[in-house]
Amino acid sequence: MSFEPPLVRTAVQVNGFERKLEADARLTLLDALRDVIGLTGTKKGCDQGACGACTVLLEGRRVLSCLTLAAQCDGRQVTTIEALAGDDLHPLQAAFIRRDAFQCGFCTSGQIMSAVALLDEGRAGSDDEIREFMSGNLCRCGAYPNIVAAIRDVAGGRNHDA
């Protein structure tokens, strides 16, 4: 049956700015970012929680924004790829370029956001650890060895016993 979904009022802190949404309850955080707020850096590769392209930080932790409803984020902090660079690129962004850690670039926003969290989680201690804990982010172009190298570069800079 056809039904009119309820509109939900949400105020999400996106990259430090409050965004007020009055939206369809079915709206995912991913679609809210992309279609409503206009931040298209976060990508949709499956909409089913299986690829990692939509990874963003929610309260500093990595989440799949396609599996997160916008309405769940009321009053919470969301960080997307657009907020990572200041005047200079974030060290991970620079390392991804230097190590050529992407080809088509479609998985890249998700890879980098995931890597930001990975470093905070302290799970970039070895190549094997990086491989394991970055395995939720698919790269169909097959840039994996370069992704590992880029993360290793940044982790190594932070933590010398890495």
Partner 1 sequence: MTPEPRVIGLGLDRVDGPAKVTGAATYTMDVAVAGLLHAALVRSTFAIGTITSIETAQAAAAPGVVAVFTHHNAPRMKKPSWNLITPPPPVPLQDASVHHYGQYIAMVVAETPQQATAAAALIRVEHKAATASLSLDAPALKARSNPYFLDAKRGDVESALAAADITVDATFSTKANAHNPLGLFSTVAYWEGGRLVVHDSTQNPYLIRDSLAKVFSVSKDKVQVLVPYVGGAFGAGLRLWQHVILTAMAARAVGRPVKTVLTRPQMFTGIGHRPATIQRMRIGALRDGTITAIDHEATSTAAKVANVLYPVTLSTPATYRCDNVRGRDRQVRLDIPSPAHMRGPGEAEGNFALETALDEVAYAIGMDPIDLRMRNYAKVHPQTGLAWSSKALDECYRQGAERFGWADRTPRPRSMRDGHWLVGYGMAGVTYGHFQAKCHASLTVRDDGTVLVRSGATDIGQGTYTVITQVAADGLGLDPANVRFELGDTDLPRAPQAGGSGLATALSNAVRDATVNAIAALLSLASADHASPLHGCSARDVVVAGGRIHRKDDASRSETYGAILTRNGRSELTVQGSSAPSRAETGVLLGSLAVSRMGRAGRRLVEATHAIAPAGAFAAHFVEVRVDPLLGRLRVKRMVSAVDAGQVLNEKLARSQIVGGIVGGIGQALFEEITTDEGSGRVSNATLADYLVPVNADVPDIDVVFVGEPDSDNAVGVKGIGEIGLVGVAAAIGNAVHHATGKRLRSLPFTITELMD
Which residues form the interface with partner 1 (CB under 8 A)? 1-2, 4-5, 24, 26-27, 31, 34-35, 38-51, 53, 80-82, 84-85, 89, 93-94, 96-98, 100, 102-109, 112, 130-132, 134-148
Which is nearer to partner 1, 98 or 158 (by Cβ)?
98
Judged on CB neighbours under 10 Å (0-12, 13-18, 19+), 67 is middle
The letter for the amino acid at 50 is A
Binding track, positions 132-151, relative to ligand FES; x by CB under 6 A: -------xxx-x--------
Kindly state the smallest distance separating residue 35's Cβ from ligand FES, in Å. 14
Phi, psi (5° rounding) for residue 145?
-60, -35
Q: How far is the CB of 57 from ligand FES (least distance, A)?
A: 14
Residues 38/56, Cβ–Cβ less than 8 Å: no
Whole-number minimum distance, CB 154 to ligand FES, in Å? 18
- Strand positions, DSSP E, 55-120: 55-58, 61-64, 77-79
Q: What does 7 interact with, of ligand FES, partner 1, none (CB < 5 to 8 A by kind)?
A: none
Torsion of the alpha carbons at 153, 93, 53 and 57, rounded to the nearest 10: 90
Residue (12 or 64) nearer to partner 1, CB: 64
Bridge-based pairing of strands 7-14 and 77-79 is: parallel
- Could you give the CA distance from residue 119 to residue 121 in angstroms, rounded to a whole number? 5
Interface with ligand FES, residue 54, by CB under 6 A: yes
- Does 49 bind ligand FES (CB under 6 A)? Our answer is yes
**In whole angstroms, how close is the CB of 50 to partner 1 at the nearest point?**
4
